[in-house]
Structure 1
Amino acid sequence: MRIPILKLKNLLLVSIQVMLDDKTALELQEDLLHKIHETSAEGVVLDLTSLDMIDSFIAKVIGDMVSMAELMGAKVVLTGIQPAVAITLIELGISLPDILTALDLEKGIGLLKEINVVHL
């Protein structure tokens, strides 16, 4: 099952509405990078609101996805991180330095507007 990636001007919106398995996470990573390349998107909001659990592999894929997207010139904001996900990331020792986060999708878009990445 592919996770939809929506384009809004120079912004890509990704809302994960299913539990991520390894295959789906890797497909999302590939799809997002291709979409950034195709659209020249400058910002990405990756909404994790529906994820209430995460394992070390999925956490690594998300971290890698953010790093890869930023290497391609797109600023990424992670939104909707649930308490259990935050706890798991810390307990696994997974560091996501310099990653922008926001409480929800609306605040994530607002953050990208504040730093002049998106112009909606």
Structure 2
Amino acid sequence: MENNDQQVASFDTENESRFISERRSNVKSDLIEITEDKLENILLKHLKRMGTRKGWLAPLGLCISFILANVSATFSAKFGIPASTWEAVFILAAIGSSIWLLVSIVSMCANWKESSTDSLISKIKASDEG
């Protein structure tokens, strides 16, 4: 048979001072009401800005790879393409990825504050007022 007498866990608050030196309560929070379409627009714009924080990784990896290939490889004629053409292709690829890297770094620096979580929360709050 089932016992309907349930024991409720309790503790003595008088002994609480032995373990807790100070009690603080921080349960106040702002309530933000926003429509789904506004939130989606804000998040999509923010997601694009967040990509700029890591957007420099791919061009850096390619730039390093092309530079190392140019420095360490001895190009030879392959697939009917002369060695000098292969070398030129890798030099142009290194230059292109270097330009891409510089543009990515400038974009990251320009959008650093706008891509933060605080900026996202501020935009969500501001969209509710407008």
Normalised TM-score (structure 2): 0.24
Point out the structure with the larger strand share.
1
The structure whose Rg is larger is 2
Q: Give the TM-score of the pair, scaled to structure 1.
A: 0.25
Which one has more relative contact order, counting CA pairs under 8 Å at least 6 apart?
2
Structure 1 or 2: more helix by fraction: 2
